[in-house]
Amino acid sequence: MAFILREDRQETENKSIRFLIPLIEEIEKFIEKKDVTFSGFVLQACRYALDNAEEKEEDKEKNN
């Protein structure tokens, strides 16, 4: 499944997180000229990772 950026904004809560500077620069370059904020990108990337991790866990359970 490909990672697709979406333009949605929902209620949020602040959380502090540290990023490596090269990762920040790479994310900022990637979202440049797209209608998504840094936070929006991080939220979508986390959702994508969780959704895919769950699928893999479900597959493991089915195979056992």
What confidence tens digit (pLDDT) does each residue in 12-32 have? 888 999 999 999 999 999 999
In a domain, 23, yes or no: no
In a domain, 41, yes or no: yes
In a domain, 5, yes or no: no
Q: How far apart are CA 32 and CA 37, in angstroms?
A: 9
pTM recorded for the entire structure: 0.67
Give the residue ranges of DSSP H helices in the chain.
21-31, 38-63
In the numeric block, which tokens belong to residue 10? 């929902």
**Residue 60 pLDDT:** 66
What residue numbers bound the domain in which 64 lies?
Answer: 34-64
SS3 state of residue 27: helix
More confident residue, 10 or 46: 46
In a domain, 55, yes or no: yes
What is the distance in angstroms between the CA of the first residue and the CA of the last residue of the chain? 24
Q: What is the number of structural domains in the chain? A: 1
